[in-house]
Amino acid sequence: MTESQPPASATTEAREETDRSDRLLLEYLVNNDAACPVCGYNVRGLTRPVCPECRHRLRLTVGATDVTLRWFLAAIAPGVFSGIAAIFLAIPLIVSPLIGNGSAPGFIIATDVFGFTSGIAALVMMAQRKPIVAMPAGNQQMLVAIVWAVHILAFIALLGVAFGWY
């Protein structure tokens, strides 16, 4: 061994492991259709682990079946919408007293507080995305049902106050 050669080490082992993974990947692609994760090109029958279309290097990886973001997105949608609406609603609430128009009605303030609370809840769920997506589908559907029920009830309550139903 000369000085310029790196010692037989983890680097070498890692490279051998990569070669093995590449062989397994190419072996799989001989008979299977697969889309390049970058450009979507069908990489079946590749002879090198590189996408011929976009030139990205491809590697063997582990995927999970039936993972879906559908319920997660349905759970955060009302909060994202409410949070953004609350930001816009806050502008007149803050400006109005400053220009001497008096303070807004209580139910408008309550609506804005609800919107911000909902938006923060959506942010918390985004931060907890992995454990939520890992929950059984039934639990995720329950979460979606609760979130939507709370928002629909709040919306009906808001309409009720706005139109003087009670």
Residues lying near Zn ion in the complex (CB under 5 A) are found at 36, 38-39, 41, 51, 53-54
Shortest Å distance, C-beta 30 to Zn ion: 18
Other C-beta atoms closer than 10 Å to the C-beta of 141 total 15
Nearer to Zn ion, 39 or 84 (CB): 39
Residue 96's Cβ-count burial label (10 Å; 0-12, 13-18, 19+) is: middle
Coil, strand or helix: which one is 125? helix
Shortest Å distance, C-beta 33 to Zn ion: 14
Shortest Å distance, C-beta 42 to Zn ion: 10
Nearer to Zn ion, 34 or 158 (CB): 34
Nearer to Zn ion, 40 or 97 (CB): 40
Other C-beta atoms closer than 10 Å to the C-beta of 120 total 14
Nearest to 53 by CA among 62, 65, 44, 64: 44
Shortest Å distance, C-beta 29 to Zn ion: 13
The token duo for 57 is: 């290097």
Nearer to Zn ion, 29 or 76 (CB): 29
